[in-house]
Amino acid sequence: MDISEIQKQKQEIINKYGEWTAHSIQLAPNIFTIEGKESPSGRPAHYVKVTEDFFGQALKELRILDLGSLEGMYSFEFAKHGSEVVGIEGRLENIEKAKFANQVFGFKNCGFIQDDVRNLNAEKYGKFDVVLCCGILYHLDVPDVFILLEKIADICKRLLIIDTQIAVEKSRLVTFDYKGEKFSGCNHEENIADPQSALNNTNSFWPDRKSLYRAIRRVGFLQVYDDLEPHIWTNSTDRLTLVCLK
């Protein structure tokens, strides 16, 4: 696809589905999905490096699941390294933008499916070596946040990377009982009109740090590591990145 065709099709996507809102992706020299925001986040490359460090093998041998893939930035980074990548995203406009960029790149090892991540199951999607759960847990309400972790554990064979916000204000903590265990966290309002918010639930539940650790360990990821590198980008006390191993 030449430069003029990329620009033409990009504008057609914008006319039909709106501007890109989440990921500034370089489609060609001097063409980004979000013009004027031409310094993509370092997170995708960092997550690739984390995966390489833990597996010690070629990424082309791995199957990757990108949950809540938005406009595809994380998926494309792994696809560049030869991994088989599946992105699951709930909003049609994000799916169409990701498919367009994928067409520009010409990746045959990367695909996007419109679905609610709460429908995740092994029978439908198979098993994955690596699951990326970046920016999705804190948009779910209870008990869905815990149910999704169970579903991830069922389809993930080895490595789970979580990027999420957590509850830090002790005065706002509430307790939720799930399968006989108590988990603490905070309730938050969701604006479903926001393209980076929840799909259809108007409330979300952010576990506190200890509760999130326990929820992850109880589903089978017995090694959970704090990844401090992303603090360079977030510098936030209520957001963390976890590397979880079976």
Residue-range domain boundaries for the chain: 3-166+215-245
Mean pLDDT on 50-64: 92
Handedness of CA 122, 123, 129, 132 (dihedral sign): negative
Structure tokens at 59: 């990424």
Could you name the CATH architecture of 3-166+215-245?
A: 3-Layer(aba) Sandwich (3.40)
Q: Are 57 and 10 in contact (CB under 8 A)?
A: no
Q: How much is the pLDDT for 37?
A: 77
CA distance 43 to 49: 10
Q: How much is the pLDDT for 40?
A: 59
Mean pLDDT on 49-60: 91
CA distance 62 to 57: 9
Q: How much is the pLDDT for 39?
A: 60
CA distance 68 to 133: 7
Among 27-36, 59-68, 116-125, the least confident range: 27-36
Token pair 């367009």 in the structure block, residue: 100
Tell me the pLDDT tens digit for each residue of 153-195: 999 999 999 999 999 998 999 999 999 999 999 999 999 999 8
CA distance 163 to 6: 32
pLDDT band at 116 (very low <50, low <70, confident <90, very high): very high
Structure tokens at 47: 């997550």
Q: How much is the pLDDT for 149?
A: 98
pLDDT band at 71 (very low <50, low <70, confident <90, very high): very high
Q: How much is the pLDDT for 56?
A: 85
Q: Which residues pair with 89 in a beta bridge?
A: 114
Amino acid 176 reads: F
pLDDT band at 57 (very low <50, low <70, confident <90, very high): confident
